[in-house]
Amino acid sequence: MANLNQLELQNLRHLIGAHCTIEKKLNFYAQQCTDPQLKQILTKDAQDAKTNKDKLMTFLG
């Protein structure tokens, strides 16, 4: 793990929180969606947001 300063840690925390919010909203939108093609796109984008969030969390240790 790299040694992170306070600013980097704060930025990382904000990025993780944003990706978490995006994931939740996209999953919610996908559940509400009736168009199968759009539902698939939203679900994939939600999964991508989760993957990116998980990658960012590896910097925390």
Residues of the chain scoring pLDDT < 50 = none
d(CA 7, CA 42): 32
Name residue 56's amino acid: L
Can you give the residue ranges of every domain in the chain? 6-59
Rounded to two decimals, the pTM is: 0.88
Q: What is the pLDDT of residue 14?
A: 98
| Other residues' Cβ atoms within 10 Å of the Cβ of residue 40 | 12
Q: What is the pLDDT of residue 2?
A: 65
